[in-house]
């Protein structure tokens, strides 16, 4: 696997991962590393001061980040992924937002609010759950249903209630602490709300429409972008878990607690899991890379190729979760100890598995 993270970075992440979990947010040392490496700006084009990275490179980096620590990988993926909206923002607004070296987007894909059209913009009210990185975010994105001043739905070109995304600033939202789940604790994925907030017209946008900059990649379909970035997080966490399981089991065999037949059985189980994940990883990246190359070379991706990207994303994600369940019984009580590294990784994998986008394999 490509050594995207240097040893020094990996060691820093390992040093502070447990402390991040205790704090319920990324440790300041990890945040400083993220700002230094421009991880929150992965999708931001160079015109706005971003690194100008493209999705093929980003996916592989996000896998490495999640392998180092699940909460780190998940937070970067969700926050940097929201930064992808840079391609659809009003250029003056985008330049202002991304001038901040510590800019970080958080938000929710759910339609949690109502925006009433006013003469100068919109009046927003709403609540949105699961905003990863909320505690250090500088910008929040929120989806709202549009209504006129009489409370009637504003309809889109298909006659359906129109939905738009909005850019909100940190001091305009109220964070609602409530991320009390047993994994991905350091993501701090709390809810946020706004009440009677006036937003100017230039702080609205629609993804995959009205691309504001000439830069490859912003026309990659958002569904497959979300599926692939979430999948590589489960993949990275599972890579980490497999290594921890191997270490844990052979430490136990050093105590001669198992006979040769039992050790051989475990070794076959471990190797089978490694083979399955490795083969699916190769298929995943080959399928994704094909879709990306079609976009770059032909400016479009056919529906059959997109369907294959979705299918392999789901297949790999589900294989990751099954692998964690298959290998967990061989780890010993250390794996059930909530303060242990292996337990944290196991919890992170299973929390990530609850994202609705990848719930079903078909």
Task: Provide the residue count of the chain.
Answer: 362
Residue ranges of domains in the chain, CATH in brackets: 7-88 (1.10.540.10), 105-205 (2.40.110.10), 222-358 (1.20.140.10)
- A 10 A CB-CB count for 17 gives 22
Give the position of tokens 């440790």.
27
Q: Which residues contact 13 (CB under 8 A, 6 or more apart)?
A: 5, 30, 33, 68, 69, 72
Q: How far apart are CA 93 and CA 86, in angstroms?
A: 9
Tens place of pLDDT for every residue, the chain, 362 residues?
Answer: 445 555 589 999 999 999 999 999 999 999 999 999 999 999 998 889 889 899 999 999 999 999 999 999 999 999 998 878 888 889 999 999 999 999 999 998 899 999 999 999 999 999 999 999 999 999 999 999 999 999 999 999 899 999 999 999 999 999 999 999 999 999 999 999 999 999 999 999 988 666 767 566 788 999 999 999 999 999 999 999 999 999 999 887 666 788 999 999 999 999 999 999 999 999 999 999 999 999 999 999 999 999 999 999 999 999 999 999 999 999 999 999 999 999 999 999 999 999 999 999 98
Q: How far apart are CA 311 and CA 10, in angstroms?
A: 31
């Amino acid at each position: 696997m490509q050594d995207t993270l240097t040893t020094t970075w990996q060691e820093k992440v390992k040093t502070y991962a447990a402390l991040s979990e205790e704090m319920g947010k990324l440790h300041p040392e990890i945040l400083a590393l993220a700002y230094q490496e421009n991880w929150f700006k992965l999708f931001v084009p160079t015109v706005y001061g971003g690194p100008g990275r493209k999705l093929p490179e980003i996916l592989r980096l996000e896998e490495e980040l999640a392998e180092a620590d699940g909460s780190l990988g998940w937070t970067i993926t969700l926050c940097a992924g929201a930064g992808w909206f840079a391609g659809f923002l009003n250029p003056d607004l985008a330049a202002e937002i991304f001038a901040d070296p510590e800019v970080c987007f958080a938000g929710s894909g759910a339609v949690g609010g109502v925006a009433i059209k006013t003469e100068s913009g919109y009046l927003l009210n709403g609540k949105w759950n699961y905003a990863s990185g909320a505690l250090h975010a500088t910008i929040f994105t929120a989806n709202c249903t549009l209504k006129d001043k009489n409370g009637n739905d504003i309809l889109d070109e298909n006659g359906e209630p129109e939905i738009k995304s909005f850019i909100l600033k940190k001091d305009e939202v109220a964070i609602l602490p409530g991320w009390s789940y047993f994994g991905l604790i350091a993501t701090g994925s709390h809810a946020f709300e706004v009440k009677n907030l006036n937003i100017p017209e230039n702080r609205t946008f629609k993804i995959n429409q009205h691309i504001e900059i000439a830069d490859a990649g912003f026309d990659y379909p958002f569904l497959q972008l979300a599926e692939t970035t979430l999948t590589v997080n489960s993949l990275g966490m599972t890579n980490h878990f497999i290594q921890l399981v191997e270490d844990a089991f052979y430490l136990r065999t050093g105590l001669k607690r198992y006979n040769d037949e039992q050790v051989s059985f475990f070794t076959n189980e471990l190797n089978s899991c490694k083979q399955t994940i490795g083969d699916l990883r190769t298929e995943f990246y080959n399928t994704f890379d094909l879709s990306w190359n079609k976009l770059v070379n032909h400016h479009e991706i056919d529906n059959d190729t997109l369907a294959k990207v979705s299918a392999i994303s789901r297949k790999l994600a589900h294989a990751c979760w099954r692998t964690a369940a298959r290998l967990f019984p061989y780890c010993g009580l250390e794996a059930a100890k909530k303060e242990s590294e292996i337990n944290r990784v196991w919890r992170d994998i299973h929390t990530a598995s609850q994202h609705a986008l990848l719930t079903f394999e078909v």
